[in-house]
Amino acid sequence: MENEKEQQRILELRKILHEHNYRYYVLSQPVISDQEYDRLMQELIELERRHPDMADENSPSMRVGDDRNLEFEQGEHKYPMLSLSNTYSEEELQDFIRRVNETIQDNVSYCCELKYDGVSISLTYRNGKLVRALTRGDGYRGDVVTRNIRTIKSIPMVLSQGDYPAEFEIRGEIILTHEAFRKINEEREENGEPLFANPRNAAAGTIKLQQSSEVARRPLDCMFYALFGENLPSDSHFENLEKARSWGFKVPDWNKRCQSIVEINDFIHYWETERNNLPFDIDGVVIKVDSLTQQRILGNTAKSPRWAVAYKYKAEQAVTLLESVSYQVGRTGAVTPVANLRPVFLAGTTVKRASLHNADQMALLDIRIGDYVIVEKGGEIIPKVVGVDLSKRSAESKPIEFITHCPECGTPLVRNEGEARHYCPNEDGCPPQIKGKLEHFISRKAMDINAAEATIDLLYRKGLVRTPADFYRLTFEQIVSLERFGEKSARNLLKSIEESKKVAFHRVLYALGIRYVGETVSKKLARHFGSIDNLMKANLTELTEAEEIGEIIAQSIRQYFSKPSNQKLIEDLKNAGLQFAEKAPVQPASNKLAGKSFVISGVFRLHSRDELKRLIEENGGKNLSSVTSRTDYLLAGENMGPAKMEQAKKLNIKIITEEEFLKMLE
């Protein structure tokens, strides 16, 4: 009976871990902590050891996890890129040292490094030039993301003169600083896009973007931690990293070579506190056997090297009283529950509020007013509630019911299928949504009207501004009569409003605040349709023919322009004199491709994708982002995405090479 229970548990654990692997490596949306994941994995390994008859090569215990994307070319790792075994206590670390000593039976030095919380990357250099960048993938094959990696300024593309081998691999961790992460999320919030949970998720999402131009807009960084090759400068891992720094790689100078467990523990304890002063996240320390010869003797398991271990810090937590839950309404109407806490000191700051994310998370925690809750800041910029101390719960406590109506305007909330958040649909009458849209409209990247948030609030409270068009109706007499305004500040505001009429069409389109239509999408829509009139008339199919416009964005655009209030807003803004058309459309060099639509996929020998797209547009053709029945040609390069090839064959669309395309232009 016990055997059957354990066998059933093995199957259950495999299913659970497969799901968490998918969430972590593919979706970059983990729902459990690293410590909990490691506990489940260890339980599975132990049960499989006791039941060898249940062996399965597809078990999560036999693989590293997979973050591959079929839109990228696949490449094999010359040296397996395995994950590290994790340990959370000094006792477990001592066990690692003991196992190493039992095998080596000689003096062993260790290299201690920080464990960066980012995305692993392996770079190949040949004759001092970057030739390939590969994600970890499943440890044996990964995605070739060389074009994206070239946009990261801290990664050298060509090395200066040095004593580096003719060919070698160097591995690092791609990260985002706290400041860069904050700016990215601010921009996503302005665009009505879902926020990244933490810097690691943001870095992972960025590396997998299909357009390297978009990657370049995000300030990624890279810290290097390992060298692989046939003719490395030294048998010492530590010395090889020192050499790599001299070749131009960003190798941190806080790595330390240690000779004893005491020195290793000192390093661990120092960084457990000092990590709070770093501008980026780390989640532990990595301890490696320093000698490459000794590393080869120790070897690897199917999952991890035996010569290295990660000492993981527990996420910083504090326990405090949940005094109340409030609800915030954003510009897009998204309602976010916020825990109001008894102030508690955590990771260098006093925390009074923490995110509860959404109704599902609240139900999962079974959180109640008066509970003593566990607040965590590890890997997060904004603190979050991760648990409840049930031993302190009052018997009279009751579950919190998520609100059913907007806390600002009283409108019944809605929850779209497949989404975790509740929304207030009253976008034209809900005060925080109205003010949020006004603030977005005047923002620097939109209309760039010089008015502070307090000014918007004042204009709204006085009933002077309810829609963006109202800015262009303001008079000097109205403004100068407001508190804190004098003649000079009133004239400056009116001058800024007048200057905004010169702002280009794509920025006006962005300023409208259409959900999912950010800066980049606005530029693509403006270039593709040329005017607001053409955009408003476009149906779903015509919208998805525009570059990088998918069905979700297209539906959002159609929904926006279908509302009479938005149609009136566009008319009012037109009458105010705003730019609603591209000023100088590019005249085609020829009409050889007139009426023809192209989808480009793969890597090309003579031109970049951007150059090919430009040639198509210059000769009267149209670029599409996905293969549909309206596609005339699939321009196929090497290692193109299999999904597009399959769809083209299914729809009997002509597939042409780069050379065949260029002949069409002769």
Beta partners for residue 373, in sequence order: 320, 388
Question: Rounded to an integer, what distance in angstroms lies between the CA atom of residue 567 and that of residue 552?
Answer: 21
For the chain, counts of helices (H) and of strands (E): 24, 21
CB 157, CB 94: distance < 8 Å: no
Question: Rounded to an integer, what distance in angstroms lies between the CA atom of residue 418 and that of residue 102?
Answer: 53
Strands 654-656, 633-636: pairing kind: parallel
Residue 207 in tokens: 């590396």
End-to-end distance of the chain based on CA atoms, in angstroms? 77
CA-wise closest residue to 61 among 24, 13, 26: 13
Residue 121 in tokens: 């990357």
Give the Cα-Cα-Cα angle 514, 519, 524 (nearest 5 degrees).
90
Q: What is the DSSP letter of 400?
A: P
115 is annotated as an active-site residue: yes
Does residue 291 sit in helix, strand or coil?
A: strand
Q: Whose structure tokens read 């999560």? A: 60
Q: What CA–CA distances, in Å, run from 317 to 97, 114, 366?
A: 29, 21, 19
Residues 6+ apart with CB under 8 A from 366: 388, 399
CA-wise closest residue to 147 among 658, 600, 603: 603
Burial bucket for residue 604 (CB in 10 Å: 0-12, 13-18, 19+): buried
Give the Cα-Cα-Cα angle 344, 345, 347 (nearest 5 degrees).
135
Question: Rounded to an integer, what distance in angstroms lies between the CA atom of residue 435 and that of residue 642?
Answer: 46
Q: What is the DSSP letter of 305?
A: B
Phi, psi at residue 155, to the nearest 5°? -105, 115
Question: Rounded to an integer, what distance in angstroms lies between the CA atom of residue 343 and that of residue 322?
Answer: 10
Task: Enumerate the H helices of 546-619 as residue ranges.
Answer: 551-562, 564-576, 609-618
Q: What CA–CA distances, in Å, run from 252 to 49, 226, 249, 321, 510?
A: 40, 12, 9, 40, 40
Beta partners for residue 337, in sequence order: 327
CA-wise closest residue to 141 among 96, 80, 76, 193: 76
Phi, psi at residue 175, to the nearest 5°? -135, 165
Burial bucket for residue 375 (CB in 10 Å: 0-12, 13-18, 19+): buried
Question: Rounded to an integer, what distance in angstroms lies between the CA atom of residue 427 and that of residue 433?
Answer: 6
Q: What is the DSSP letter of 340?
A: E
What DSSP string describes 59-87? SGGG-------TTSPEEE-SS--PPPEEE
Identified catalytic residue from 5, 115, 462, 568: 115
Amino acid at 412: P
Task: Enumerate the H helices of 112-211 as residue ranges.
Answer: 146-149, 178-190, 199-207
Does residue 184 sit in helix, strand or coil?
A: helix
- Which residues belong to the active site? 115
